[in-house]
Structure 1
């Protein structure tokens, strides 16, 4: 009865109107028309070989991809309608598939492809394979209509046709995929994905040659690890699509944490951002927000312990353990930052780390490689698999213990020896379980399944406890507060200053208790020696000041990943992906296959963008997968010699802000308000 009454009064109708999903931003997005670069503005284009761009082709690519290995780099140029060849206007049936995790802008790749195909020939059809590459294998698809495409323009996610992580990486899957494309009369297949997906695209292009089905790849990953430069260093693909949006989405949230930390003044926030192999997102977030401390994995990998090297050299020895970062030293870096800020009265801050940080720690990387090899070998030689046979940690540890014992008894070289086992046994159980977690479909260690932040926090807390006991880790006391606290109880601040503080004569700095004053007992002894006890006890005001100097380390963990990759794209990513879609059609209409669609000059205005096709085979190298060397697309790591990284390092001390004054945090613009000219800072700084 109550609902009926509310309905009669218009309550539900009003509430429904207030709760509808037609936000102002959604309406603005659907109405937004991406800018198009000059070469793609017309309905017709042509391809021109660009011999100024060269690659060092891996010999294995020549052997495994002979049909597409010699593909040239192709520039896309506009032509007049009267110059357009018939093949540019013919009716086509083009299929597109999303592969891997979502990245903001994917729908605009479809929109750009759809618009370009229909402009060239309104009878052309665009099909979407559903649920990722599984849709190709199983023949699951749907024709895409204009109304459907229009309803997703400039929106995030891959929900129009959805995505999946199935790989077309076996002979059986390739045969089924060829069968599907042949039955559907597909002229060209477009694969939108990351490095693994574009690796699949290369092998599909090779296998589809005899069927006449063209295959074009599109660079997608929020991790930012698809970047392409030729043999001479020319940048051809500055960044993959989705990176800018995800980084900005993370940055907005992390900037809010910077504000919260400076307001509540009692927490360190540890922010783990996606990036299993490369630290591009962590670097971009740092440039966007200026957090207290950011760890870049690629920098840690190049660390040299100069003191240990020098000590070994004096003995005429070479200490190979001095090369590369250890977990122990990593904890020291973080602790030093915490201690420095605490001394300045700032027992709070924001720490940013990449998801794959542990991969850059030599001792952990060695463990991961060894364990991955053992798991892969076990799976190859048993009817079941490692994780089914050994479901709990005790069974896995017993298995590893037997391997170590056998290696020692037989005095043979083994992947797993007693030294490995001893080191692994000392690791906390939750970390052991993380390192032994089931590998992904490629045999790769899944860093997102490991609580990296928990590992770092544990190490940091242990070392901070030592520093606290040594009197090194203390919170600086504001001088004015100290003086007012004592004066209110009739005490003279100057009388106690030289007894309590190590830096009482430095006027600008917060007051730091002397290192030997680490407890009420040692405080009492210091005052007793100076004759400053009141009735044999510590004055309440002094005790209050001492309690304030005692650090209470609290850390809040955060993970930034799925939220950012599901964000609606920035104007930059909207423009970028729409142009990529039109680039794909230009390559198809020009007869290309085995190419990846890219846009050169992304750091410049859209009017200077240059669409082109890069041969996928030229991007391949050999990499260890499941214990075997396989031909895959090479990932791009953060270049520690790049301008962006050097700018980041130059600002490290300023952003740590271990001194008086406010922290120099930066508030980035919201994703949609970023503006057409707002682009990834790493991209822009590298091209200054």
Structure 2
């Protein structure tokens, strides 16, 4: 699945709002804006909005997880960026944060899990702080009151935190302000007093009219669903690939839902036997992908040079109406097209390697196919084991 219906709309609306904030930051020259974006655990929206609007900095959950960054590591990164910009007489900036960042920070995620376990056991929210493990208790007591209250909220039905209610952007702004005031007193920071303004962009984009791309996308998916029903298929999901091309070049298909499912483990309590449930495994931001690589290539320029970009409002006709997500355009995600190409290669092999072919052709084919099979088996098993217990 190259894109979800609604992703294009959410990113375009948020990017316009972010660009407005960038303009205000550049005008006022005295505020740092911390903007939290919807998107649950994964950071696709934050990445795409960064590529569209060019804020100074973005914190991706996948980066935090891969590098095992703590909340203090992230705060230090931001503080160092603020100090570097202040040395160029820039006392403003815009920082994007994904909604699910709190679940990517190891110590906060461990604290959340412990709190959720106690809530499941029926422990009153007001007494949880006294029953936490020593390490979690120390972290909990360190947090500001608003964050304590939000972490004590009951989890969603899938055991995840109420991410929209946890103001991670305010926690980061609080930690950064504390550290910058400390540096100011010590004389290591010589810029202006740090001032932060926080925003959460969720409902603004979710309540928007759909973009032209999403209108076309949903319409064609509905058309494909009709053909799936007409063919008598059950348990299939309509899919479209080659979405970066014009609509008349989109490729329609149907994928069995079971092919997209893995087993996720849930446990009722810490130490109890886990229960496996089939789920559709969501795709994370690929840290080896072209979209992320594009971000990394420009990260330093975005941080220091204020390359703010305003994509403007949604367009339904004329210039900009057919603009697509940057991450969609730079990635080569034509899955069904690749399947078709593979099938063509296999058909060619069948026409060459058949009864009557020479011994040399047969030996070469066996050697190559054995190597390919070994490589694919290794890749397949490693990717499956990585997803199965996510």
Q: TM-score, normalised by structure 1?
A: 0.46
Q: Cα gap change, 1:263/1:423 in structure 2, threshold over 3 Å: closer, same or farther?
A: closer
State whether residues 288 and 681 of structure 1, in contact with CA within 8 Å, keep that contact through their aligned partners in structure 2: yes
Partner of 1:258: 22
Q: Give the superposition deviation at 1:561.
A: 0.8
Question: Which protein has the bigger helix share?
Answer: 2
Given the alignment of the two structures, is residue 594 of structure 1 paired with residue 239 of structure 2, yes or no?
A: no
Q: Give the superposition deviation at 1:625.
A: 4.3
Aligned equivalent of 2:298, options 647, 651, 656:
651
CA–CA distance in structure 2, aligned partners of residues 353 and 572 of structure 1: 25
2:288 aligns to what SS in structure 1?
Answer: coil
Partner of 1:356: 100
Aligned equivalent of 1:634, options 281, 288, 299:
281
Given the alignment of the two structures, is residue 579 of structure 1 paired with residue 220 of structure 2, yes or no?
A: yes
Aligned equivalent of 2:112, options 363, 368, 389:
368
Query: What are the within-5 Å matches in structure 2 for residues 501-512 of structure 1?
Result: none
Superposed structure 1 runs of 4+ greater than 3 Å apart: 624-629, 673-676
CA-to-aligned-CA distance 1:547-587 (integer Å, 9 cap, x gap): xxxx1211111111111011111111111110001011110
Query: What are the within-5 Å matches in structure 2 for residues 402-417 of structure 1?
Result: 417=133
Query: What are the within-5 Å matches in structure 2 for residues 60-459 of structure 1?
Result: 237-303=1-67, 324-376=68-120, 378=121, 386=122, 390=124, 392-393=125-126, 395-398=127-130, 400=131, 417-459=133-175
Partner of 2:308: 665
CA–CA distance in structure 2, aligned partners of residues 668 and 620 of structure 1: 36
Q: Give the superposition deviation at 1:637.
A: 0.9
State whether residues 594 and 615 of structure 1, in contact with CA within 8 Å, keep that contact through their aligned partners in structure 2: yes
State whether residues 315 and 321 of structure 2, in contact with CA within 8 Å, keep that contact through their aligned partners in structure 1: no
Partner of 2:322: 677
CA–CA distance in structure 2, aligned partners of residues 443 and 682 of structure 1: 30
CA-to-aligned-CA distance 1:425-471 (integer Å, 9 cap, x gap): 33333222222211112222111111111110111011112211232
Higher gyration radius (CA) = 1
State whether residues 444 and 625 of structure 1, in contact with CA within 8 Å, keep that contact through their aligned partners in structure 2: no
State whether residues 247 and 284 of structure 1, in contact with CA within 8 Å, keep that contact through their aligned partners in structure 2: yes
Q: Give the superposition deviation at 1:626.
A: 6.3
State whether residues 116 and 154 of structure 2, in contact with CA within 8 Å, keep that contact through their aligned partners in structure 1: no
CA–CA distance in structure 2, aligned partners of residues 363 and 286 of structure 1: 26
CA–CA distance in structure 2, aligned partners of residues 428 and 261 of structure 1: 26
Q: Give the superposition deviation at 1:634.
A: 0.5
Q: Give the superposition deviation at 1:608.
A: 1.6
Given the alignment of the two structures, is residue 557 of structure 1 paired with residue 198 of structure 2, yes or no?
A: yes
Aligned residues: 325
- How large is the RMSD of aligned CA atoms in angstroms? 1.7
1:672 aligns to what SS in structure 2?
Answer: coil
Gaps of 5+ in 1: 1-236, 304-323, 379-385, 402-416, 476-550
Q: Cα gap change, 1:651/1:631 in structure 2, threshold over 3 Å: closer, same or farther?
A: same
Partner of 2:346: none
Q: TM-score, normalised by structure 2?
A: 0.79
CA–CA distance in structure 1, aligned partners of residues 211 and 163 of structure 2: 28
